[in-house]
Structure 1
Amino acid sequence: MVREGYPATTVEEYLDAVPPAQGAALRVVRDRLLEVVPGAEQVISYQVPTIRYRGKGLVALSVARAHCSLHLMSPPLARSLDGLLSEGTLSGATLQFDAGSPLSAETVRLIAERRMAEVDARLA
């Protein structure tokens, strides 16, 4: 799905183009992801910042008018997290959060570790 609104060729361009509060929140979440994902790559995919792990899309970040989003890129993971997370709101395979409350390091770690396990299993 191609998203409209913030065309960019790099993650930094995207984060600079979105409204400042949302860009700051996405930077916090992105930096937390980079701390826990070994060898993480940052790319633009489907016009949004995407973190790749072992060459595969792990999660993506984006903004909407009223919230920020962490796209889990895994409906099974989203279903397994339903009721476990104390922050954000799951909508399908997307965790929506307010720009004023970026996702905690614990939540980011939980999601990243579970997504990496899925990628590792697929590549094994």
Structure 2
Amino acid sequence: MGAVTDYLAGIKAPNRQVLERIVAIARELAPGVEEGTSYGMPALLLDGKGFVSVLETKKHLALYPFSGQILGRLADELDGFSWSPGTLRFSAENPVPDELVRRILELRLAEIGA
């Protein structure tokens, strides 16, 4: 087990399934990711850098791409979601579509690879 797996195991359905789906997409796009922590959050790491973290908070679920640039580049696709430069907030009732998750993570992969 690892930090992300252990964290997700403690979350109740349906939030857990929504967050696990994002993690599964991340693992698909970057099979070499490792579990660890970044900025104190359970995270998937790539080449020692934070790739993505997903968390449950009292008011929402959140995706952290460890970049202040990516979400701003996708602002026109984020209608219906609350976001700031480093955080995308959503819920199990209004999850982030898989294709948008892929675009966010592909942009992060490109940043890490640059």
Q: Structure 1-normalised TM-score?
A: 0.77
Question: Share of identical aligned residues, percent?
Answer: 31
- Does 1:72 pair with 2:69? no
SS in 1 for 2:76: coil
Output the CA distance in 2 between the equivalents of 1:100 and 1:32.
19
Output the CA distance in 2 between the equivalents of 1:65 and 1:19.
13
- Does 1:13 pair with 2:19? no
SS in 2 for 1:103: coil
Structure 2 residue aligned with 1:5: none
Checking the alignment, whether the CA contact within 8 Å between 2:67 and 2:85 is kept in structure 1 is no
Structure 1 residue aligned with 2:111: 118
SS in 1 for 2:78: coil
Structure 1 runs not aligned, ≥5 long: 1-8
Output the CA distance in 1 between the equivalents of 2:25 and 2:5.
15
Which one of 91, 95, 106 corresponds to residue 99 of structure 2?
Answer: 106
SS in 2 for 1:65: coil
Output the CA distance in 2 between the equivalents of 1:44 and 1:24.
21
Measured after TM superposition, the shift of residue 37 of structure 1 is 1.7
Superposition RMSD in Å: 2.0
Measured after TM superposition, the shift of residue 47 of structure 1 is 4.4
Output the CA distance in 1 between the equivalents of 2:12 and 2:38.
20
Checking the alignment, whether the CA contact within 8 Å between 2:61 and 2:89 is kept in structure 1 is yes
Output the CA distance in 1 between the equivalents of 2:28 and 2:94.
19
SS in 1 for 2:69: helix
SS in 1 for 2:83: strand
Structure 2 runs not aligned, ≥5 long: none
- Does 1:38 pair with 2:25? no
